[in-house]
């Protein structure tokens, strides 16, 4: 059986991680521009000021994407490039960049998928309280409308918000992403609700104004537990843990996805947050649960062995890990596809999956990265197993199309199919990239 003929094969990126040109052509600043500069926040205090200089090199980059055989390419839009103050004045030059990017992709036979928000909140909105401000869903709606008016004649696939788990969990709870804060649950609950409202308002706006019939989703993440064995008890336990908020609170899947797909917060949230929990209006929950076309999800590792050292046994010693220290645990693809389809009943779209390695250009001029090929093969094969068992799997996006700014890790981690030399900005397609092309061409069949 395998994947359907129209399976969405591609690779992904995000604006702040690749574009650079952080204050060019009228772009406003965002929270990463401002707060990555504070010593202690990011590895070697690196910033995305230049990153992959994709803003200037997008044409050259798209040629490489074509060489990779990508059919689709997922990228995000920098809100502050389009609206320097976040609302109000539109920066035509910024919009023009994305319009040219879309044209260039289409000319290369690559279909664009757009993420509206991949963590780079405009600084001027942050000054007004950012997601704490109850106007923030309206700001996001205004921004969405500007983008939709400009690009929806050529773009069909829309994703509102990338990993809301990480916006709150990493940015305002753990404090290791911009704006590097650690706030109390009371604030985090309010901000979560505004982010969800922003998502819902954006979905409505896209459906109302898109010129081409849009296909709309968002791209959460969240811990997925893999059963210890094949027994029904083990599967039930893994499902229950994956659906629970207890261990992961703002990182959990259900905190974000239940409101979106069921129109209500998980019951657990009321127990866990107590008086910090809100009592949302029916109208709010209707906005949040505007119907979506797919369940997008970013998947990197399974929870079962996420903290291997906490295991009673020594089974963790020497297990395969990526350069992020994330355990290679491909079964998560199968179980995530199963569990999310079972719960939310939408086609599952893997909007990110990939690995960082310590790649370099070898003496022969190639970037030989057999581990990445093996990683992709393992994960995609398990995704195919789920498809074979009847789970509608819509697509797979490798993260990332090219090495880039890995947030708090700066340029230290390389996830790309394309190697980037950050000093010369020279690009080299990695061996895994050439192999990925074959995987796409065969629609995954080379794995059988």
> Would you say 139 or 301 has its CB closer to ligand GBH?
301
Residues 111, 290, 352, 373: which is the catalytic one? 352
Is 352 a binding residue for ligand GBH by CB under 6 A? The answer is yes
- Is 237 among the residues known to form the active site? no
CB of 135 to ligand GBH, least distance (A): 26
**Position with the least CB separation from ligand GBH:** 251
**Residues contacting ligand GBH: total by CB under 6 A:** 16
Among 152, 298, 329, 432, binds ligand GBH (CB under 6 A): 298
- Cα 120 to Cα 87: distance, rounded to the nearest angstrom: 14
CB of 26 to ligand GBH, least distance (A): 25
Q: How many residues does the chain have?
A: 448
Is 296 a binding residue for ligand GBH by CB under 6 A? The answer is no
> Please, which of residues 400-439 interact with ligand GBH by CB under 6 A?
406, 415
CB of 222 to ligand GBH, least distance (A): 5
- Binding flags for ligand GBH, 4-33, as an x/- string (CB under 6 A): ----------x-------------------
Which residue carries 């200089």 as its tokens?
53
31 contacts: CB under 8 Å, gap ≥ 6: 120, 121, 122, 123, 126, 130, 171, 178, 179
- Binding flags for ligand GBH, 94-133, as an x/- string (CB under 6 A): ----------------------------------------
> Please, which of residues 148-207 interact with ligand GBH by CB under 6 A?
162-163, 165-166
CB of 346 to ligand GBH, least distance (A): 19
> Would you say 91 or 248 has its CB closer to ligand GBH?
248
Is 297 a binding residue for ligand GBH by CB under 6 A? The answer is no
Q: Which range of residues in 127-135, 218-226, 424-432, 436-444 is near ligand GBH by CB under 6 A?
A: 218-226
CB of 306 to ligand GBH, least distance (A): 7
Q: Which range of residues in 215-223, 262-270, 308-316, 374-382 is near ligand GBH by CB under 6 A?
A: 215-223
- Is 426 among the residues known to form the active site? no
> Would you say 28 or 171 has its CB closer to ligand GBH?
171
292: closest CA among 256, 266, 267? 256
Is 223 a binding residue for ligand GBH by CB under 6 A? The answer is yes
CB of 327 to ligand GBH, least distance (A): 12
Is 35 a binding residue for ligand GBH by CB under 6 A? The answer is no
Among 256, 261, 399, 411, binds ligand GBH (CB under 6 A): 399
CB of 140 to ligand GBH, least distance (A): 18
> Please, which of residues 270-289 interact with ligand GBH by CB under 6 A?
none
- Cα 438 to Cα 373: distance, rounded to the nearest angstrom: 11
The answer to whether 70 and 399 have CB atoms below 8 angstroms apart is: no
Is 300 a binding residue for ligand GBH by CB under 6 A? The answer is yes
Among 221, 257, 302, 329, binds ligand GBH (CB under 6 A): 221
Q: Which range of residues in 67-75, 171-179, 221-229, 259-267 is near ligand GBH by CB under 6 A?
A: 221-229
Residues 46, 163, 406, 431: which is the catalytic one? 163
CB of 259 to ligand GBH, least distance (A): 17
3-state secondary structure the chain: CCCCCCCEEEEECCHHHHCCCCCCCCCCCEHHHHHCCCCCCCHHHCCCCCCCCHHHHHHHHHHHHHHCCCCEEEEECCHHHHCCCCCCCCCHHHHHHHHHHHHHHHHCCCEEEEEEECCCCEHHHHCCCHHHCCCHHHHHHHHHHHHHHHHCCCCCEEEEEECHHHHHHHHHHCCCCCCCCCCCHHHHHHHHHHHHHHHHHHHHHHHHHCCCCCEEEEECCCCCCCCCCCCHHHHHHHHHHHCCCCCCHHHCHHHHHHHHHHCCCCHHHHHHHHHHCCCCCHHHHHHHCCCCCCEEEECCCCCCCCCHHHCCCCCCCCCCECCCCCECCCHHHHHHHHHHHHHHCCCEEEEEECCCECCCCCCCCCECCHHHHHHHHHHHHHHHHHHHCCCCEEEEEEECCECCCCHHHHHHCECCCEEECCCCCCEEEEHHHHHHHHHHHCCCHHHC
Q: Which residues bind ligand GBH (CB under 6 A)?
A: 14, 162-163, 165-166, 221-223, 248, 251, 298, 300, 352, 399, 406, 415
Query: Which active-site residues does the annotation give?
Result: 163, 352
């Amino acid at each position: 059986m395998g994947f359907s003929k129209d399976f969405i094969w591609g690779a992904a990126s995000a604006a702040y991680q690749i574009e650079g040109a952080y204050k060019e052509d009228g772009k406003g600043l965002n929270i990463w521009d401002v707060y990555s500069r504070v010593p202690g926040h990011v590895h070697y205090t690196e910033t995305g000021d230049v990153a992959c200089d994709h803003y200037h090199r997008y044409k050259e980059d798209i040629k490489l994407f074509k060489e990779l055989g990508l059919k689709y390419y997922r990228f995000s839009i920098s809100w502050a490039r389009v609206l320097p103050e976040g609302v109000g004045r539109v920066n035509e030059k910024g919009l023009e960049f994305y319009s040219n990017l879309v044209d260039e992709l289409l000319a290369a036979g690559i279909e664009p998928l757009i993420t509206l928000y991949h963590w780079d909140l405009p600084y001027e909105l942050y000054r007004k309280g950012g997601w704490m401000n109850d106007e923030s869903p309206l700001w996001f709606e205004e921004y969405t409308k500007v983008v939709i008016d400009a690009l929806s004649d050529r773009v069909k696939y829309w994703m509102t918000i990338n990993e809301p788990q990480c916006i709150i969990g990493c940015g305002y709870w753990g404090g290791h992403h911009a704006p590097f804060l650690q706030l109390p649950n009371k604030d985090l609950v309010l901000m979560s609700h505004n982010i969800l409202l922003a998502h819902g308002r954006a979905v409505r706006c896209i459906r109302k104004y898109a010129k081409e019939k849009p296909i709309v989703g968002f791209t959460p993440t969240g811990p997925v537990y893999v059963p210890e064995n094949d027994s029904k008890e083990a599967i039930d336990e893994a499902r229950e843990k994956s659906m629970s908020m207890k261990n992961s609170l703002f990182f959990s899947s259900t905190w974000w996805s239940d409101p979106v797909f069921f129109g209500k917060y998980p019951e657990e949230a009321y127990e866990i947050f107590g008086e910090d929990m809100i009592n949302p209006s029916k109208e709010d929950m209707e906005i949040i649960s505007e119907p979506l076309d797919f369940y997008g999800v970013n998947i990197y590792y399974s929870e079962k062995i996420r903290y291997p050292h906490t295991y009673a046994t020594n089974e963790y010693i020497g297990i395969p890990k990526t350069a992020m220290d994330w355990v290679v645990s491909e079964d998560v693809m199968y179980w995530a596809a199963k569990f999310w389809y079972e719960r939310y009943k939408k086609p599952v779209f893997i909007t990110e999956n990939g690995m960082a390695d310590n790649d370099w250009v070898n003496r022969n001029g190639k970037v030989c990265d057999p581990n990445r090929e093996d990683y992709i093969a393992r994960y995609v094969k398990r995704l195919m197993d789920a498809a074979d068992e009847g789970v509608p799997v819509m697509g797979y996006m490798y993260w990332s199309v090219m090495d880039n700014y890995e947030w708090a890790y700066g340029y230290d981690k390389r996830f790309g199919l394309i190697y980037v030399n950050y000093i010369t900005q020279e690009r080299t397609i990695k061996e895994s990239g050439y192999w990925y092309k074959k995987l796409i061409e065969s629609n995954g069949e080379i794995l059988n």
